[in-house]
Chain A
Amino acid sequence: MAENKYGELTKTLLKIGQIMIESGAETSRAEDTMKRIAIKAGIRKLDVYTTLTGIVIGINEVDRTGVVQIYRRATNMEKVVAINDLSRQFTEGKITFDQLKAGVQNVDHYVPDFQWWLKAVAAFIISGGLMMLFSPSTANWEDFIPAGCIGTIGFLISFFLHRFYQMQFISDFVASMVIGFLAVTALKLHLIISFQGVIIGSVMPLVPGIIIMNGLRDMISGHLLAGFARSIEAVLTFVFIGAGVGLVLRFFG
């Protein structure tokens, strides 16, 4: 009986860690959550080694270890919040371990994404709005709708490439190249006035905000390995976005 219990605990902890890293939580938060749950479940000390591509945990007092590999990372804060709520309820003693296990399975399968069209509308608002916010002197209100459309197209290309092919940096590169190309075309057709503003605005939905933030927070809390990996990921994304726009500027600008 006891053997079985620890096996289940190991599996659930790994699942929790996997979901949290996959959906974009900080490494320290994932480790903290796993440790709290383990202590509440009656383990004295849990050893965790978390990286961006895999998690190793060991419960040394009962000779249990577990490894899980993480293939893809996407951003879904809804899952992080759901897991956080579950772990909070469990450590406060409001739900049992079986309920926690069922809840974690539920989060893994049924927590929804926002619809893609809602994200497209959000990308529209970001592109147009941030264009006006960043360069009030050069940008015009007439550019709001073209910039929004270009930004939305760029975001959707990156979104679907990322979803279907899981190629992280190339999807951003292609998206920013398309953005630059559309902006150049629109300028030639006299649809937009300020080329600079439109490019600045429509690139904004591609900015890897959560990766930058996670990288910083991981570095501060001492997870140097994960922090550096994330920071490099963010820098590379910026470089690829810049390369896409720069390439178009070089040949058509």
Chain B
Amino acid sequence: MKLFIINVVLSYLGSLSFGIINNVPHRLLNCAGITGIFGWLVYLACKGMHLGSFVSNFMGSLVIGLLSYVFARYKKVPILNFNVSALICLVPGALFYEGIYDTVFKGVAVGMNIVVKVMIVILALAVGTMLSQLIDEALKRLGKKIKS
């Protein structure tokens, strides 16, 4: 339970602070933080179920994308405000460091293994983002059809 609270608080603060660095307006910072919490919790849950890093990052970024669209529609601002701030928690920092470390001390051949892993994680984030954009686009079309 204590670990859960720490995770929630840190992911909220992390997303909010990355928003500040990118000059996200004050009134949107809270929503950016909330998006970050949900993305990170979904990632942790998938990781806990041993689904592998591709699926967990994919699910995390998908949730972040969908939630950002909800907030962007609600606040009527560009989606980038929430997306970017929340995604900082999923950037593979630890893996990236491992890649550098192994390249320096164990040779390029060992290091490249991990660099490819970093690329796969980033690919997962990209696929999640793309899918959320597709879902949003589809829902928009559907809404227009229902209206007309």
The answer, yes or no, to whether B48 is at the interface (CB within 8 Å) is no
Chain A contact surface mostly: helix
Taking a contact as CB atoms under 8 Å apart, the answer to whether B10 and A130 are in contact is yes
B88 touches A250 (CB 8 A): no
Tell whether, in the assembled complex, residue B88 and residue A118 are in contact, meaning their CB atoms are under 8 Å apart: no
A119 contacts B94, C-beta separation under 8 Å: no
Say yes or no for A25: interface residue by CB 8 A criterion. Answer: yes
Q: Would you give the 0/1 interface string for A126-154, flagging 1 where the beta carbon is closer than 8 Å to chain B?
A: 10011011111000000000000000000
- Which residues on A sit within 8 Å (CB–CB) of B87? 209, 212-213
Q: Enumerate chain A residues within 8 angstroms of B14, measured Cβ to Cβ.
A: 125-126, 129-130, 133
CB atoms of A134 and B3 under 8 A apart: no
Chain A positions within 8 Å of B122 at CB level: 212
Q: Does B58 contact A (CB under 8 A)?
A: no
**Which residues of B lie under 8 Å from residue A200 when comparing CB positions?**
93-94, 96-97
In the complex, which of the residues B17, B77, B100 contacts A246, with contact meaning CB atoms closer than 8 Å?
A: B100
By a CB distance below 8 angstroms, the chain B residues around A47 are none
The reply to whether B97 and A196 contact each other, CB–CB distance below 8 Å, is yes
Contact B94 A25 (CB under 8 A): no
Q: Contact between B129 and A217 (Cβ–Cβ < 8 Å)?
A: yes
Asked if B130 CB lies within 8 Å of chain A CBs, one says: yes
Task: Tell which of B21-29, B49-57, B138-146 binds the partner.
Answer: B21-29
Closest chain-B Cβ to A174's Cβ sits at a distance in Å of 17
For the complex, give the distance between the alpha carbons of A205 and B40 in Å. 18
Contact call B24/A77, Cβ cutoff below 8 A: yes
Q: SS class of chain B's interface: helix, strand, loop or mixed? A: helix
A204 touches B78 (CB 8 A): no
- In whole angstroms, what is the CA distance A134 to B44 when docked? 11
Beta-carbon contacts under 8 Å, B1-49 to A: 3, 6-7, 10-11, 13-14, 16-25, 28, 40
B80: chain A residues at CB < 8 Å are: 24-26, 77, 80, 210, 213-214, 217
Whether the pair A245, B20 counts as a contact (CB closer than 8 A) is no
Given contacts A78-B23, A213-B84, contact A125 B13 (CB under 8 A): yes
- Residues from chain A with Cβ under 8 Å of B25 in the complex: 77-78, 81
Complex CA distance for A81 and B16, rounded to whole angstroms: 17
> Is the interface on chain A under 10, 10 to 19, 20 to 34, or 35 or more residues?
35 or more
Residue pair A209, B103 in contact (C-beta under 8 Å): no
Q: Decide yes or no whether A242 CB sits under 8 A from chain B.
A: yes
- One digit per residue, 1 when the CB lies within 8 angstroms of any chain A CB and 0 when it does not, for chain B 89-130 equals 101011011011101110000000000000000100010011
**B6 contact set on A, CB distance < 8 A:** 132
Q: Are A80 and B78 in contact (CB under 8 A)?
A: yes
- A175 at the binding interface (Cβ < 8 Å): no
Interface centre among A134, A201, A209 (most CB of B within 10 A): A209
| CA distance in complex: A214, B81 (Å) | 11
Partner of B99, one of A24, A121, A214, A242: A242
For B78, list chain A residues within 8 Å (CB).
25, 29, 77, 80-81, 84
Q: Which of A183-225 contact B (CB under 8 A)?
A: 196, 199-201, 203-205, 207, 209-210, 212-214, 216-217, 220
User: A97 within 8 Å of B by Cβ?
Assistant: no
User: Apart from A129-B14, A209-B91, what are 7 other A-B pairs with CB-CB below 8 Å?
Assistant: A25-B80, A121-B17, A196-B94, A200-B93, A201-B93, A216-B130, A246-B103
What are 30 A-B pairs at a CB distance below 8 A? Answer: A80-B80, A113-B23, A119-B20, A119-B21, A121-B20, A125-B13, A125-B17, A126-B14, A126-B88, A129-B14, A129-B17, A130-B93, A133-B7, A133-B11, A134-B93, A196-B94, A200-B96, A203-B96, A205-B21, A209-B22, A209-B85, A210-B22, A210-B80, A212-B122, A216-B130, A217-B133, A220-B133, A245-B97, A246-B104, A253-B104
Q: Which 4 A-B pairs have the closest CB atoms?
A: A122-B17, A122-B20, A129-B10, A125-B17
